[in-house]
A = this chain, B = another copy of it.
Amino acid sequence: MTSADQYLAELGQQLRVDAVRATSKAGSGHPTSSMSAADLMAVLLARHLRYDFDWPDHPGNDRLILSKGHASPLLYAAYKAAGAITDEELGTYRTLGSRLEGHPTPRLPWVDVATGSLGQGLPIGAGVALAGQRLQEAESRVWVLTGDSELAEGSVWEAFEHAGYERLASLTAILDINRLGQRGPTRHEWDLDAYARRIAAFDWHTIEVDGHDLAAIDAAYREAASVTDRPTAILARTQKGRGVAAVADQEGKHGKPMPDEAEAVEELGGVRDLRVDVRRPEATTVPPRPGGGRVELPRYEVGEKVATRNAFGEALAALGAARPEVVALDGEVGDSTRAEFFAKRHPDRYFECYIAEQELVATAVGMAVRGWLPFAATFAAFLTRAHDFLRMATVSRVGLCVSGSHAGVAIGEDGPSQMGLEDLAMFRALHESTVLYPCDANQAAQLVAEMAEESGVRYLRTSRGADPVIYGEDERFPVGGSKLLRSSAEDRLTVVAAGVTVHEALRAADELAEEGVPVRVVDLYSVKPVDAAALREAAELTGCLLTVEDHRHAGGLGDAVLDAFSDGRPVPRLLRLAVDTMPGSATPDEQLRAAGIDAGAIATAARRYLAGYG
């Protein structure tokens, strides 16, 4: 063994020791999952990673994503070896207020995305690499360290397909194949050929190595960097708990500190304090240039019939012209969501992700990591496929715009499989999300520009059908606002609607007004946050809120209005119209009627309430 190899061996042992110490002190965590990958990490850190820990946003930095997030002690031990954190901070692992959480999050400046939900690191890494290669001509590499259990996740295969097809040579997947999952052996255990066969079939270069042979690991990383026409997967045969006989390669040792810390540390050769001078990036690549150009939004004439999805597409294309950091991603339905309008004007910033919604959102997250402002679009219904990626995007504090088209029963004949009926509930429950639901084209266009200014996960719900434009071209729609569309001093109740039901509510209000029953109509286009002031005023004046929505009862508009009344103040009476049937096929009008959310249903509900209570 050369002295260089000796150094790497010592470094690997140090990472193990520090993982053992951190988890023992915390009384929980995953030392054995860290120990299997310690040699892979040591060689990467000392020889191949280019990273400036003092400048995490350096555009030339490599990216390192620990997809097996439970092996966080290994990552933190590596940060310590690189001098980024102290041994003292390492000792705060998993305690209240520490940046060293059980699974890595961007509370640490060197962590780009949170991991811990398995199977997300590679899909996101593909997005980071795609942005680097297609948008920035970056020379930096993307290293993703995954476990073997998580290779069962379909999202990983979406990523293998995507990265292979896009020939993302800057992406290297390091597969820590330690044979043991949480509950027991994985499907393929140490059958590295099984993995290699599958991954190679997706047009990746594959390398099989002994994950504890430092020279072999080093050679594999070099080989990966030399392959210029495809991504590389390094399949490393490793031992879970490597280095401590009491736990090595044994079932039942997942997610548990060492049985005897002192003994384990001694067996690993004791505590060390090696420091690694991680190579800094040489070249800077071109970062996205956040634009401040004036957005020339499309404008629509009042009365014109335009689908909000069309306005979304046209506004997105306009936004892209003003803001060069905007990118659009499609789930192979761009002709339906109208994201295609962006594609026509900005083909270089349009990314076809095919029918793989997890990869769609993951790619968007990856691009956000590199400073781009992504808009991902598919049918609202199919965004449920990406729920876990959206959830984790909030843990990653990533800025991400999403549009879901074909909202609700109003899509008509296609039937329930294509109807977004649970999307508002899903997006409202996401941490610090913004949820917008326009009813006309001018509003939709304005909201596209508004959402670009927000942070976190932002959702725009669009409709398939063409409804008349009701707002003038210069009307403004701030996030958190609403529009009062019908009102008088004698209003008997308030109809709160959004999207397609705004038009139904207006019809119902006009019908009731003719009967001498004035009702107020609020367009609650900002579903989260809601316009608390307007709702409270409506409640005080009319005493009753009748919500009507093309969505399931739970989690949507009807629940959203309560956000304005949850502080102990008096709550107005509530009537809720929402979809509680299982729709079939029918025309849009028939669907609204059958679901009981059309003008007639609104008027009927209002009359019944006023006869009984009002």
Contact = CB atoms under 8 A, between A and B. Distances in A.
A552 interface: yes
Given A152-B161, A415-B101, A554-B559, A182 B332 contact: yes
Contacts of A415: 101-103, 105, 116
B94 A585 contact: yes
A425 interface: yes
A582 interface: yes
A388 interface: yes
A186 interface: yes
A431 B157 contact: no
Interface string A562-587: 11011111111111100010101111
B568 A571 contact: no
B332 A152 contact: yes
Contacts of A200: 201
B394 A388 contact: no
B566 A574 contact: yes
A318 interface: no
A246 B418 CA distance: 28
A201 B203 CA distance: 12
Interface stretch (A258-266, A278-286, A379-387, A511-519): A379-387
A414 interface: yes
Count this chain's copies in the assembly: 2
A13 to B, nearest CB: 26
Indicate the member of A95, A100, A562 with the most B CB atoms within 10 Å: A562
A335 B182 CA distance: 8
Nearest to A26: B413
A158 interface: yes
Nearest to A197: B201
A354 interface: yes
A422 B391 contact: yes
Given A96-B594, A395-B582, A584-B97, A428 B425 contact: yes
B555 A187 contact: no
A432 B552 CA distance: 10
Contacts of A183: 330, 332-335, 340, 352
Contacts of A330: 183
A437 B431 CA distance: 22
Contacts of A154: 153-158, 356, 358-359
B568 A119 contact: no
Interface in A163-206: 165, 181-183, 186-187, 197-198, 200-202
Interface in A584-605: 584-587, 590, 594
B555 A417 contact: no
Contacts of A381: 117, 388, 391
Contacts of A334: 183
A609 interface: yes
A584 B429 contact: no
A416 B105 CA distance: 9
A555 B558 contact: no
Contacts of A16: none
A398 interface: no
Nearest to A428: B554
A569 B544 CA distance: 10
A573 B116 CA distance: 39
B187 A429 contact: no
Contacts of A132: none
Indicate the member of A417, A421, A559 with the most B CB atoms within 10 Å: A417
Contact of A384 (B355, B391, B562): B391
Contacts of A100: 585
Nearest to A594: B96
Contacts of A392: 417
A529 to B, nearest CB: 11
Contacts of A429: 421-422, 425-426, 552, 554-556
A325 interface: no
Give the 9 A-B residue pairs with the shortest CB-CB distance, closest first.
A154-B154, A116-B417, A555-B555, A157-B157, A425-B429, A428-B554, A96-B586, A152-B354, A384-B387
Given A165-B187, A186-B354, 18 more contacts: A28-B413, A95-B586, A101-B585, A103-B417, A105-B584, A116-B414, A152-B161, A183-B340, A197-B201, A198-B198, A392-B417, A422-B426, A422-B429, A425-B428, A428-B554, A429-B552, A558-B566, A559-B562
Interface of A: 26, 28-29, 69, 93-98, 100-103, 105, 107, 114-119, 149-150, 152-158, 161, 165, 181-183, 186-187, 197-198, 200-202, 330, 332-336, 340, 352, 354-356, 358-359, 381-382, 384-385, 387-388, 391-392, 394-395, 397, 412-418, 421-422, 425-426, 428-432, 528, 544, 552-556, 558-560, 562-563, 565-576, 580, 582, 584-587, 590, 594, 608-609, 612-613
